[in-house]
Structure 1
């Protein structure tokens, strides 16, 4: 497991990007739970964010690809709108403890 950040660095309805050992990934917090994904849109294979740590739509309820506007469910990574509808982000196994957020690469 690789350490990402202290828990307080990922706020509720927030997102953060990371580059760990040359792999781009991100975490999103929703309902107190942290979700972890590879930072790669299934449509074009490009990073999702339009600015550092900006992975969510304006309502902060869906993950959004900045390039083509695809929308993904936070809890599952499923694309529900856009050019990759029906496809999924690649989820990563992660955990949270008293030290913070950890992810399995």
Structure 2
């Protein structure tokens, strides 16, 4: 496992999403995004299970208009923030790939497989 600094605590606010490129940007696992909901931070690989493409339609835009669900910009699939489970769209029943988060005094780190 590789440990990567994600961001400081002040860089992600409640109800916001933010994308990150980590390590070797050519690597499949290098792009992730984070969402803060109810004080918890959820991090997933930025890869839709339906087409294998990034979810964001603009930088840091991973949520639907209400900020209640993660939404794929390509085909509108909707995912639960807390679990990454797809609840609507062509990949219903599939899920986003979660990335473990580690809290430290400096901020948030993520752990990615080598």
* TM-score tier after normalising by the smaller chain length: over 0.9
Residue in structure 2 matched with residue 66 of structure 1 by the alignment: 73
RMSD: 0.7
Q: Which structure has the greater CA radius of gyration?
A: 2
Structure 1: gaps of 5 or more residues: none
Counterpart of 1:90 in structure 2 is: 97
Moved over 3 A (4+): none
* Alpha-carbon offset, residue 98 of structure 1: 2.4
Q: Which residue, 3, 16, 22 being the options, matches 2:18?
A: 16
Does the residue aligned with 1:8 lie in a helix, a strand or coil?
helix
Q: Is the 8 A contact 1:7 1:96 kept in 2?
A: no
Q: TM-score when scaled to structure 1?
A: 0.97
Report how many residues are paired.
105
2:32 counterpart (25, 44, 47): 25
Q: Which runs of 5+ in 2 are unaligned?
A: none
Q: TM-score, normalised by structure 2?
A: 0.90
